């Protein structure tokens, strides 16, 4: 388990647990640390299997991808935990909330995919769904898919956000290459197969944050999530893309209870 924390953890720690996107290193990101500080919480990040030097768990489900974070909460007897998940980290944040319902106070996910429907409509609005379509065919097909970035996947607002404090996302994604062992492949396959838990098992209130111009995970996924979670609030931001929507994250974390 690869853990990064802003302080030594004790049962009294008030924690914001961050689930990074696809890909990530698991390291603490400055803007997320600032959000945690504003909430008077410590920031904790756990690299998923196959990322940041963490051993790969080939063929893992979403629930299995979140198992290390659940173990961390139990090891340190953490309660009153706030969980945030961005993009590919969103399903894993929800999996943690389902696995540890007595320890999670609130969940906020941004740009989060919904469980795969099995139909073509799930991909509608994605500028470059090739990797996820390959993942439907299995690990070998996804592993053989060329990793080529499509610049049109980001909007002008996204690129503007990357010029500011959220530029660390690009830096972290680049740094992940040196430490990644199949993490992105396993994430994508997990998203389009059985997640390993029902969304109805998430008891904590969930804020589903999404931008209407998201070209990576289209905004329709937010409604799909909201319709299957027990206690969900949709926070849809007009004109925002996959990255720029993070500029609203602090507001929603504070509204979730701090």
Provide DSSP, 118-136.
SSGGGGTT-S--HHHHHHH
Give 63-105 pLDDT, tens digit per residue: 999 999 999 999 999 999 999 999 999 999 999 999 999 999 9
Quote the CA–CA distance of 193 and 136 in Å, as a whole number: 8
pLDDT at 258 over 70: no
Given this model, what pLDDT does residue 188 score? Answer: 98
% of residues, the chain, pLDDT over 90: 93
- The torsion of the CA quartet 253, 176, 71, 110, rounded to 10 degrees, works out to 20
What is the dotted CATH code of the domain comprising 2-255? 3.40.50.1820
Quote the CA–CA distance of 64 and 48 in Å, as a whole number: 9
pLDDT band at 181 (very low <50, low <70, confident <90, very high): confident
Give 217-245 pLDDT, tens digit per residue: 999 999 999 999 999 999 999 999 999 99
Quote the CA–CA distance of 193 and 107 in Å, as a whole number: 22
Cis peptide before 23 (omega within 30 of 0): yes
Q: Could you give the angle at the alpha carbon of 175 between the alpha carbons of 171 and 178, nearest 5°?
A: 165
Record the pTM.
0.96
Domain extents in the chain: 2-255
Q: Give the residues across from 47 on adjacent strands.
A: 2
């Amino acid at each position: 388990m690869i853990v990064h924390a802003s302080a030594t953890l004790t049962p009294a720690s008030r924690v914001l647990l961050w689930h990074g996107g696809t890909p990530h290193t698991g390291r603490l990101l400055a803007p997320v640390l600032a959000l945690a500080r504003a909430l008077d919480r410590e920031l904790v990040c756990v690299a998923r299997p196959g990322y940041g030097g963490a051993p790969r768990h080939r063929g893992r489900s979403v629930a299995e991808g979140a198992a290390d974070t659940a173990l961390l909460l139990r090891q340190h007897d953490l309660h009153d935990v706030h969980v945030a998940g961005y993009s590919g980290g969103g399903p894993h944040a929800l999996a943690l909330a389902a696995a540890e319902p007595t320890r999670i106070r609130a969940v906020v996910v941004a740009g989060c995919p919904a469980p795969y429907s099995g139909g073509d409509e799930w991909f509608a609005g994605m500028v470059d769904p090739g990797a996820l379509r390959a993942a439907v065919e299995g690990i070998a097909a996804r592993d053989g898919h060329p990793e080529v970035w499509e610049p049109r996947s980001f909007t002008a607002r996204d690129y503007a956000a990357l010029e500011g404090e959220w530029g660390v996302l690009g830096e972290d994604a680049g740094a992940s290459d040196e430490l990644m062992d199949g993490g992105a492949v396993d994430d994508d396959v997990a998203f389009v197969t059985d997640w390993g838990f029902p969304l109805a098992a998430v008891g904590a209130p969930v804020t589903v944050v999404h931008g209407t111009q998201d070209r990576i995970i289209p905004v329709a996924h937010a409604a799909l999530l909201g319709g299957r979670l027990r206690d969900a609030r949709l926070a849809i931001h007009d004109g925002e893309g996959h990255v720029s929507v993070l500029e609203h994250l602090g507001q929603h974390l504070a509204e979730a209870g701090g």
